[in-house]
Amino acid sequence: MTVPAPPAPSETSLEALVSKTLGEGAPENLIELLPVLTQDLAEIDQRIQAMLRTTYPQLSDAAAYACSHGGKRVRPLLMAAMARALGQSTTRPIHSLAAAFQLIHTATLVHDDVIDHAELRRGRPSMPRAFGLPSSIVTGDYLFVRAFELAADYSRSIILRCGESCADLVEGEVLQESGRFDLTMGPEHYFRVIERKTAAIIAAALASVAEISGASTAAVAAAESYGRALGIAFQIRDDLLDLYGDSDLLGKPLYTDLREGNPTLISLEAYGELRGPEKVEFERLFGLRRKQPGDLLRLRALTDRTGAARRVADEATGWAERAVRSLEPFPASPFRTLLEWLARGAAARSF
C-alpha cells in the first residue's frame, strides 16, 4: 500500500482556520482578535509537532497525517479563548494541555474511522484507507500516549480530570454501540451517549484551563458547564448535518448515522412523530444492517414529512444558549464575547 505524504503545514494557514471557525458575519471586535488567536494556535501546534517525532518514519508519517486532519482546532481555540477570558495575558501555561486535548481528539477520530470503516475524513482518505487498519489503531494509541505525556506537566487534579473524560469517551462509545439499530432506546440514551462521547472532554479541557488560570471554584464550574453545553449543542448540530448538510463542505458522505444504525436525535424525533405504516417502515429500514442508497433516501424522505429537523435545530440552539448563560460570572471582554459567539455558532453552523 502506498502511504500518502502528509500535507505541508502551510496547506491551510492557522489564520484561515481561525477565520473560518469564527464564521461569516463575525463582529469587528472579534475579527480584531484574529492575530492573537492565530499566534496562540501556532504555539500550541508547535507543541503538537514536537510530540509527533519518532525514530520510526512510518509511525511519524502516520501521526502527522492523522493530525493534518485536525480540522479547525476548535478545542485549542476554545481553551485559548477561555484562558484570555479569565484575564490571562498569555496562553503559554496551557499550551501543553491544549496540545494534549487536541491529540486526544485526533486519536478518537482515528479510532472512530476504524470502527465506522470510514473512507473519507475531511474530504481526504481516512487513516484506515491511507495506512491500513493495524497502523491506524497503533497510531491512535500512540497519540493517546503522547497526550498523557503532555498532561503530565500539570497537577494531579488536572491529570485525573483528563483521564476521567477519556473514560467517559470510551463509555460513550460502548453506550452508542449498545443502541445501534434500535430506535426504542429513546432520547435519554442519545443524550447519555453524546454527553460522554463529545461534551465531557470539552468540559474537562475548559475546566482545566480555568484551574490553571487560578480561577475561583465557581469560575471553574462555570467553564465546565459552558464546555458541556457547547459540546452537546455541537454534537446535535453535527448529527443534523449528517442528514441535511453538504457533503463537500463536511468532507465526508451524508447519512453515515443512518447507514451505521446510530439513533441520533433527528432520527429519534422523526420516529416519534411518524404514525401507522410510515412508522413501521421507518423502523424496518433503520434496522437494516446493509442499507441500499434507496433505503437511505427513503429514510430521509420520511424524516422530511415530520417537523423533526426544526425541533432538533431548536434543541441545539437551546444548549448553545445554556452555554452562553454559563459565562455570566465572567467579566465582560472581547474574549467572553468570542466564547458566546462560538457557542451560538456551534448550533448554527452549516459545515
Over residues 312-345, the pLDDT tens digits come to: 999 999 999 999 999 999 999 999 999 999 999 9
Q: How many residues does the chain have?
A: 351
Average pLDDT of the segment spanning 102-129: 87
Q: Give the C-alpha separation, 89 to 299, whole Å.
A: 51
Higher pLDDT residue, 7 or 187?
A: 187
197-97-252-238 Cα dihedral, nearest 10 degrees? 50
Res. 209: pLDDT tops 80: yes
Q: Give the C-alpha separation, 183 to 207, whole Å.
A: 34
Domains of the chain (ranges, CATH numbers): 44-71+91-153 (1.10.600.10), 159-351 (1.10.600.10)
Task: Give 72's pLDDT tier (boundaries 50, 70, 90).
Answer: low
Res. 6: pLDDT tops 60: no
Average pLDDT of the segment spanning 165-194: 94
Q: Give the C-alpha separation, 41 to 16, whole Å.
A: 12
Q: Enumerate long-range contacts of 151-159, CB under 8 Å, 24 or more apart.
A: 151/96, 151/97, 151/100, 153/96, 153/97, 154/96, 154/97, 154/208, 154/212, 155/211, 157/211, 158/97, 158/208, 158/211, 158/212
Average pLDDT of the segment spanning 93-106: 95
Q: Give the C-alpha separation, 234 to 265, whole Å.
A: 13
Q: What is the pLDDT of residue 10?
A: 37
Average pLDDT of the segment spanning 193-210: 97
Res. 8: pLDDT tops 60: no
Q: What is the pLDDT of residue 350?
A: 65
Cβ-contact 37, 77 below 8 angstroms: yes
Q: Give the C-alpha separation, 44 to 46, whole Å.
A: 5
Res. 70: pLDDT tops 60: no
Task: Give 251's pLDDT tier (boundaries 50, 70, 90).
Answer: low
Q: Judge residue 340's burial from the number of C-beta atoms within 10 Å of its C-beta, 0-12 exposed, 13-18 middle, 19 or more buried.
A: buried
Res. 303: pLDDT tops 60: yes
Residue 178 CA: distances (Å) to CA of 86, 169, 171, 262, 287: 40, 14, 11, 10, 14
Average pLDDT score, the chain? 90
User: Which pTM value belongs to this model?
Assistant: 0.90
Q: What is the pLDDT of residue 71?
A: 59
